[in-house]
């Protein structure tokens, strides 16, 4: 089986597994991250096979739905790739990207170890901002029962991954300040930084209008 066949089989597998997932971590999120990653890779010297596999598998089983355990996803990815007889070096690289790429708190800097990892992290973060990022934030908030906004609760600067996992009843609006508005400055590649500029402005405009309407102002 060649690399293209492995990528296509992996895409089909993830599509079957995540179609209909209702938190914003569905197949179409994976699809957009995959395409974002391919686009960014055009401007970098990378192993595209690793990038595509990591992008496709990065949310196979998110820690948010595994009681905070961020080992489940990489383990499932490993089992899948071993089934396809993928080289161990590739599997290890993909799993390491999956382990490192997720946002772990406002006060936690996650430096990716390879350019492939930087690209996948950027691609995932681009889908968390802008118009689609806004839609995903409120989709996830509705799924887990978060309030839209609670003016009596301030955003938190989570200093550790463990702290971030316990964010509990944070409002969706606070999530913008605890994560989404921070992502523009945490992009790794020049391509992602350029794309993020406009998407960041979209979120700022949205929040300005949100607070106007919240107070009943024109």
Render each residue's pLDDT in the chain as its tens digit; 218 residues: 899 999 999 999 999 999 988 778 899 999 999 999 999 999 999 999 999 999 999 988 765 544 545 678 899 999 999 999 999 999 999 999 998 888 766 666 778 999 999 999 999 999 999 999 999 999 999 988 899 999 998 887 766 666 666 665 589 999 999 999 999 999 999 999 999 999 999 999 999 999 999 999 77
State how far the alpha carbon of 66 is from the alpha carbons of 13, 18, 59, 176, in Å: 20, 15, 12, 23
Domain extents in the chain: 3-214
Q: Are 93 and 119 in contact (CB under 8 A)?
A: no
Is domain 3-214 classified as CATH 3.30.365.10? no
């Amino acid at each position: 089986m060649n690399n293209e066949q492995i990528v296509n089989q992996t895409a089909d597998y993830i599509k079957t597994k995540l179609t209909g997932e209702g938190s914003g971590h569905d197949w179409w999120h994976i699809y957009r991250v995959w395409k974002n990653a391919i686009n960014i890779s055009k401007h970098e010297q990378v192993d595209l096979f690793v990038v595509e596999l990591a992008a496709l598998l990065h949310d196979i089983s998110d820690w948010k739905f595994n009681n905070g355990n961020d080992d489940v996803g990489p383990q499932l990815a490993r089992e899948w790739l071993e089934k396809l007889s993928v080289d161990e070096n590739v599997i290890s690289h993909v799993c390491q990207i999956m382990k490192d790429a997720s946002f772990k708190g406002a006060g936690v800097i996650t430096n990716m170890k390879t350019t492939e990892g930087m690209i996948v992290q950027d691609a995932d973060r681009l889908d968390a901002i802008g118009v689609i990022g806004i839609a995903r934030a409120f989709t996830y908030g509705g799924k887990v029962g978060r309030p839209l906004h609670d003016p009596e609760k301030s955003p938190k600067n989570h200093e550790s991954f463990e702290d971030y996992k316990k964010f509990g009843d944070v409002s969706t609006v606070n999530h913008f300040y605890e994560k989404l508005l921070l992502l523009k400055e945490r992009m790794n590649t020049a391509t992602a930084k350029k794309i993020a500029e406009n998407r960041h402005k979209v979120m700022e405009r949205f929040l300005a209008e949100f607070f106007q309407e919240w107070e009943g102002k024109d």
